[in-house]
């Protein structure tokens, strides 16, 4: 039971240059504040309240000014 997106993909290399690595940082290095500003919660929405209501709660709990959702059950952003 799999969706088309479950296919495994190989990696093709065009250029090896790794670069200096001076810029940016790995997602795992982000601060909690940074995660709050651009993060995702895979949320188990309880039956009853609407997704819209749950998003409003999440915004209040986490003191966010912007949040949305991508589905009636989980994954709130």
Partner 1 sequence: MGSATKIIPALMSAGKEYVCVMRIHGDFDLNELQNIIKEFIGPIYQRPPLRSAVKRVVRVRRVYYIKVLEVSGRDVLMKVGVEAGTYIRKLCHDIGEVLGCGAHMQELRRTRVGPFKEDETLVTLQDVVDAYKIWTELGEEEYIRKVILPVEAGVSHLPKVIIKDSAVDAICHGAALAVVGILRVETGIKVGDLVALFTQKGELVALGKSAMRSEEMVSSRRGIAVRVTRVIMRPGTYPPLWKSKKKKRDIY
Residue of 5, 50, 52, 56 interacting with partner 1 (CB under 8 A): 5
Interaction residues for partner 1, span 16-75 (CB under 8 A):
16-28, 30, 32, 35-44, 46, 54, 57-58, 61-62, 64-75
Catalytic one of 6, 44, 65, 74: 74
Closest CB to partner 1 among residues 12, 52: 12
Cα angle 73, 59, 45 (rounded to 5 degrees) comes to: 15
Q: Give yes or no: 44 in active site.
A: no
> What kind and span of H or E run contains 45?
none
CA distance 45 to 16: 44
Q: Measured from the CB of residue 48, what is the shortest distance to partner 1 in angstroms?
A: 11
Contact 42, 54 (CB under 8 A): no
Q: Which residues are catalytic?
A: 74
């Amino acid at each position: 039971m799999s969706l088309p997106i479950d296919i495994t993909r190989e990696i093709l290399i065009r250029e090896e240059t790794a670069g200096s690595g001076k810029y940016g940082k790995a997602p795992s290095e982000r601060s909690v504040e940074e995660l709050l500003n651009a993060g995702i919660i895979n949320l188990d929405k309880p039956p009853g309240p609407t997704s819209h209501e749950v998003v409003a709660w999440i915004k209040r709990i986490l003191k966010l000014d912007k949040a949305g959702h991508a589905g009636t059950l989980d994954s709130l952003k």
